[in-house]
Amino acid sequence: MLKSVGVAAMLHGVGALAAAGEDGAAVFELRVYHTAEGKLPALLTRFREHTVGIFTRHGITSIAYWTPLDEPLKDRTLFYVLKYPSREEAARRWKAFQDDPEWQKVKAESEANGKLVEKVDSTFLQLTDFSPKV
């Protein structure tokens, strides 16, 4: 499934987005949201208008967001990459995000007519020693 959307091509350049001067301890998280039928536009609106800002407030760095061009994932899937200083910070910041009253309200309101996301895949990644750095 991931082969069909070219994950390698999607992630090309993530290494170039690492900030100069980092000691290499940063970790990245690839998240894949599989949406309920017809719910991708609502999910994108929620991210655009609320989620990204709440992430920022909790120290979660957004690298990039993608939607597939090809079937079968087109119109049903959101890929995105987040950056954290460490796995420990990822867990702490993600919990703070999930416990945030604004997030809980936004999530509940956006799902008033049913869940937007059916399944979430999460994979933590580290940069290789040959990844470009800027």
CATH of 27-125, one of 3.30.70.100, 3.40.50.720, 3.40.50.150, 3.40.50.2300: 3.30.70.100
Predicted pLDDT at 13: 43
- Give the start-to-end residue ranges of the domains of the chain: 27-125
pLDDT tens string, the chain, 134 residues long: the values are 444 444 444 444 444 343 333 455 799 999 999 999 999 999 999 999 999 999 999 999 999 999 999 999 999 999 999 999 999 999 999 999 999 999 999 999 999 999 999 999 999 999 898 987 63
- Beta carbons within 8 Å of 82's beta carbon, 6+ residues apart: 28, 29, 31, 55, 60, 61, 62, 63, 90
CA angle 127–69–52, rounded 5-degree value: 55
User: How far apart, in whole angstroms, are the C-alpha atoms of residue 62 and residue 28?
Assistant: 10
Residue 38 and residue 116: Cα distance in Å, rounded?
9
Query: Do strands 27-35 and 61-66 pair parallel, antiparallel, or not at all (unpaired)?
Result: unpaired
At residue 17, the pLDDT reads 41
